[in-house]
């Protein structure tokens, strides 16, 4: 057929999209997958490494090991995107396609939280989370504040999970009574679309003495006094600050003029941008669903099916349904599952668990993606 799809970013969205196109067309469709990183790391693996459950080496899935027919991986930094021409500039040259898929995720702007770089720790990047492994292992007590500056941020349950995983770790080490844990979030409840899961989390916060500060944010960290200044005018002293940095699209996406209000505009049902045959999926796109891998991959599946139909000159009607399943760590290896449906009129956010039994489901979630994307066996915690 001689068509080419250029996929920008090999994260949750880019890997899923290129795997589906490979399954559909084998070597008959030229898929170029571009990413600047050495490999892929699941978001949840960052917490697993940070809390000492596994190692950074174990959770890195190297792109050189991905062998999907028809897919060529190019390790390069994307430096310019011309959506009209469906062409990208990279440190390995330029690439032009019949279709372009922007799946570049979200970046972090640490400087938007004054003091964070000086006296706090962000735990959302790989480097930040991995470095915290040693910091947490050496922590011998004090006030811990887990704070968010602004939404949207990836995986809304992750800060609550961090509070409960920290509580479990400190209890295991016998130093919980020497610590306070405060969680500051600009939402009225921990998981806004799920009253069930939020109620369960609030109950566990109360049981485990996690101080919950809803409807406010952390504006800055006072470097001298080591207090977090909150949007509601109050202040929380900290010995250890774990922060979710402000999210933004990667600079190249903005510089290429692809954003409206900070994100790439798409039709939420088709994932098409205003430029013909250019799609955007996952965290960089303004879809109306939370920034999470489960949503990125389902969006990618829709975009892949739409592209497949066009490659075959067929009318395609694949539509994204806004649904996804999130796993929530409750500490002590107990996992809850929330099913969310952002576009439908069915009840939203029903919670299953938490239970030890659901941990196997989460393991299989990660293992099945690695099997599909990298053709090998893997256990998330090992
Ligand atoms: C602590 C934490 C826990 C999480 N837990 C979960 C969870 O349990 N479940 C869940 O579903 N989601 C979870 N997430 C969210 C999830 O990781 C992201 O939402 C998901 O990875 C988004 O997929 P994506 O394809 O849009 O972007 P990404 O997976 O971030 O991929 C984007 C890719 O683009 C590449 N890139 C960016 N800029 C350039 C450039 N200029 N040139 C070349 N390459 C570039 C990056 O290297 C990256 O590989 C978590 C996130 C965090 C931080």
The parent domain of residue 282 ranges over 4-106+249-320
What would the pLDDT profile of 77-94 be if each residue is shown by its tens digit? Answer: 999 999 999 999 999 999
Q: Please state the φ and ψ torsions of residue 229, each to the nearest 5 degrees.
A: -95, 125
**Is the domain of 76 the same as that of 140?**
no
Q: Note whether 257 and 302 are same-domain residues.
A: yes
Angle between helix 293-311 and 12-25 (nearest 10): 30
Site to substitute for ligand 1 among 6, 8, 12, most atoms within 8 A of C-beta: 12
Domain end point (choices 283, 305, 320): 320
Contact between 362 and 378 (Cβ < 8 Å): no
Q: Are residues 132 and 207 in the same domain?
A: yes
Confidence of residue 65 (pLDDT cuts 50, 70, 90): confident
| 17 close to ligand 1 (CB < 6 Angstrom) | no
pLDDT band at 317 (very low <50, low <70, confident <90, very high): very high
Counts for the chain of helices (H) and strands (E), in that order: 10, 25
Listed residue (132, 126, 241) closest to 183, CA to CA: 241
On whether residue 217 sits in a domain, the answer given is yes
Cβ of 153 less than 6 Å from ligand 1: no
Residue 291 and residue 172 share a domain: no
Q: 289 and 175 share a domain?
A: no
Whether 100 is in the pocket of ligand 1, judged by its Cβ within 6 Å, is no
Residue 338 lies in a domain: no
Same-domain pairing of 133 and 114: yes
What is residue 296's DSSP assignment? H
Q: What is the pLDDT of residue 224?
A: 98
Domain shared by 118 and 205, yes or no: yes
Q: In three state form, how does the secondary structure of 294-325 look?
A: HHHHHHHHHHHHHHHHHHCCCCCCCCCCCEEE
pLDDT at 1: 55
Residue 156 has pLDDT above 60, yes or no: yes
Model confidence at 178: pLDDT above 70: yes
Asked if 253 and 259 count as a contact pair (C-beta separation under 8 A), the reply is yes
Q: How far apart are CA 346 and CA 360, in angstroms?
A: 27
Q: Which of 1-10, 345-354, 358-367 has the lowest mean pLDDT?
A: 345-354
Residue 351 lies in a domain: no
Count: domains in the chain = 2
Rounded Cα distance, 4 and 361, in Å: 36
What's the pLDDT at 286? 98
Residue nearest atom 44 in ligand 1 by C-alpha distance: 35
Alpha carbon of residue 248 to chain centroid: 13
149 within some domain: yes
Which has the closest alpha carbon to 307: 100, 1, 15, 69? 100
**Ligand 1 proximity of 73 Cβ (cutoff 6 Å):** no
Taking only the tens place, the pLDDT of each residue in 256-308 is 999 999 999 999 999 999 999 999 999 999 999 999 999 999 999 999 999 99
Q: Using the 3D structure, point to which of 278, 294, 320 is the last residue of a domain.
A: 320
In angstroms, what CA-CA distances link 126 with 12, 43, 158?
Answer: 15, 8, 14
334 domain residue, yes or no: no
For the ranges 15-19, 21-25, 40-44, 344-348, the lowest mean pLDDT is seen at: 344-348
Residue with tokens 């016998």: 174
Residues 196 and 79 placed together within one structural domain of the fold: no
Q: Residue 9: which CATH number?
A: 3.50.50.60
d(CA 106, ligand 1 centre) in Å: 7
> Is residue 331 over pLDDT 60?
yes
pLDDT over 70 for what percent of the chain?
99
| 194 is a domain residue | yes
Q: For helices 195-207 and 158-172, give the axis angle rounded to 10 degrees.
A: 30
Is 364 a domain residue? no
Residue range 244-249: average pLDDT? 98
In terms of domains, do 96 and 119 share one?
Answer: no
* pLDDT score, position 333: 86
* Within-domain flag for 228: yes
165 and 94 within one domain: no
Count CB atoms within 10 A of the CB of residue 38: 12
Can you say how many angstroms the Cα of residue 307 is from the centroid of all Cα atoms in its chain? 24
Is residue 143 a contact partner of residue 239, using CB atoms and an 8 Å limit?
yes
**Which of 187, 222, 247 is the last residue in one of the domains?**
247
Same domain, 132 and 236: yes
Computed over every residue of the chain, the mean pLDDT equals: 96
**How large is the average pLDDT for residues 23-50?**
97
Distance CA 279, CA 285 (A): 9
Whether residue 240 is found in the same domain as residue 121:
yes
Q: What is the mean pLDDT of residues 49-63?
A: 97
């Amino acid at each position: 057929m001689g068509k080419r799809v250029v996929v920008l970013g090999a994260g949750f969205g880019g890997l899923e999209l290129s795997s589906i196109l490979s399954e559909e067309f084998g070597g008959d469709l030229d898929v170029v997958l571009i990413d600047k990183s050495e490999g892929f790391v699941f978001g949840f693996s960052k917490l697993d490494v940070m809390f000492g459950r596994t190692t950074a080496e174990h959770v890195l899935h190297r792109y050189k090991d991905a062998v999907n027919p028809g897919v060529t991986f190019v390790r390069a930094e994307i430096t310019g995107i011309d959506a009209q021409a469906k062409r990208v500039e990279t440190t390995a040259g330029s690439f032009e396609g019949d279709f372009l898929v922007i799946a570049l995720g979200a970046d972090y702007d640490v400087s938007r939280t004054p003091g964070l770089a000086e006296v706090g720790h962000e735990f959302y990047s790989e480097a930040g989370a991995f470095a915290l492994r040693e910091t947490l292992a050496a922590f011998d007590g004090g006030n811990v504040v887990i704070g968010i500056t602004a939404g949207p941020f990836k995986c809304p349950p992750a800060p609550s999970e961090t509070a409960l995983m920290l509580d479990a770790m400190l209890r295991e080490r016998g130093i919980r009574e020497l610590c306070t844990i405060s969680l500051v979030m600009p939402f009225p409840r921990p998981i806004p679309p799920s009253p069930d899961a939020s109620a369960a989390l609030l109950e566990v916060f109360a049981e485990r003495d996690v101080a919950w500060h809803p409807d406010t944010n952390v504006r800055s960290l006072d470097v001298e006094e080591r207090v977090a200044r909150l949007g509601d005018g109050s202040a929380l002293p900290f010995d250890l600050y774990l922060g979710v940095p402000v999210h933004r699209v990667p600079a190249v996406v903005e510089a290429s003029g692809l954003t409206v209000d900070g994100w790439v505009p798409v039709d939420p049902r088709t994932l098409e941008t205003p430029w013909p045959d250019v799609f955007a999926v996952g965290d960089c796109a303004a879809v109306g669903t939370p920034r999470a891998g489960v949503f990125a991959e389902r969006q990618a599946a829709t975009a892949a099916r739409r592209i497949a139909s066009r490659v075959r000159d067929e009318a395609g009607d694949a539509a994204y349904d806004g649904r996804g399943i999130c796993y929530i760590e409750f500490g002590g290896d107990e996992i809850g599952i929330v099913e969310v449906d952002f576009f439908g009129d069915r009840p939203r956010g029903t919670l299953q668990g938490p239970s030890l039994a659901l941990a196997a489901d989460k393991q299989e979630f990660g293992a099945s993606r690695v099997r599909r994307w990298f053709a090998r066996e893997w256990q998330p915690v090992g």
